[in-house]
Amino acid sequence: LAHKVRVVGTGPGSEKYITPIALEAIRDAGILVGGQRLLDTFGHDYQEKFPIKNNLTTVIKYIKEKMQFEKIVVLVSGDTGIFSFANYLLKHIDSEDLEFIPGISSLQIMFARLKKPWNEAQILSLHGRSLDILPTIVKESPITALLTGNPWTPQKIARFLLDNQITGLKVAIGKDLSYPHEKIVHTTLDLLFEDKQDYTNSVMVIFNE
């Protein structure tokens, strides 16, 4: 390929947390592929845009058709290496034809806010997964970091752990990290399950120290 398909980690969301090399790669692209929010935030008028929805097979087909002729950038949120579409691309496109540009993960910004190291953290995503393994992980790790989301909201996760006799643990939630309205909430499993706040786009950290 004349140009590799560049998969760019755009950071946690705010324009302040994207790297200069990522911005350069985006500027240089003829085609941008990514979630609508990322296309709106980082796209330029002169670029063709292909939104990723629930159309993953179509996305791959589109990239394969265009990659011979055009500079394509695929935008992913946070870092390319953690629960990212980058991994799906690797399964369908030759890794020789891909280049990854890392970004700041939602977990990195969360642990920076907490001023805690995250080298000991167990990291899990619960998107569309069963929670069966979670009680064991939470009991065995001093820090568990979760990417929350459909269907597992922080409240439902707290409820599930309480139902599994795990109580009294401290929890921190980071919502919309990097944005001006970012919120960090310190609570406990026992309080969280009746919390009525909307925690869409949040990471959740459970402490068992």
Closest approach of ligand SAM to the CB of residue 37, in Å:
10
Residue 101 found at the interface with ligand SAM (CB under 6 A): no
| CB closer to ligand SAM, 26 vs 76 | 76
Closest by Cα among 151, 158, 162 to 173: 158
Instruction: Using alpha carbons, list the distances in angstroms from residue 136 to 28, 33, 147.
Output: 46, 38, 17
Residues 48-67 that bind ligand SAM (CB under 6 A): none
Q: Write the burial class of residue 182 (CB in 10 Å: 0-12 exposed, 13-18 middle, 19+ buried).
A: middle
Nearer to ligand SAM, 67 or 177 (CB): 177
φ, ψ of residue 153 to 5 degrees: the values are: -80, 160
Q: Which of 22, 32, 79, 124 binds ligand SAM (CB under 6 A)?
A: 79
Distance CA 57, CA 45 (A): 26
Residues 7, 22, 63, 82: which binds ligand SAM (CB under 6 A)? 82
Site for ligand SAM contains 18 (CB under 6 A): no
Stretch of residues binding ligand SAM (CB under 6 A), selected from 74-82, 115-123, 128-136, 190-198: 74-82
How far apart (Å, rounded) are the C-alpha atoms in residues 1 and 54?
Answer: 27
Site size for ligand SAM (CB under 6 A): 22
Residue nearest to ligand SAM as judged by C-beta position? 78
CA distance 32 to 12: 18
202 binds ligand SAM, rule: CB under 6 A: yes
From the CB of 19, what's the least distance to ligand SAM, in Å?
13
- What the block records as the tokens of 18 is 């994207």
Complete DSSP assignment for 95-106: GGGEEEE----H
Burial category of 107 from C-beta neighbours within 10 Å (exposed 0-12, middle 13-18, buried 19 and up)? buried
In the complex, least distance from residue 85 CB atom to ligand SAM, rounded to whole angstroms = 8
Draw the binding track, 133-162, toward ligand SAM (x: CB under 6 A; -: no contact): --------------xxx-------------
Residue ranges in contact with ligand SAM by CB under 6 A:
12-13, 76-79, 82-84, 105-106, 147-149, 174-178, 201-203
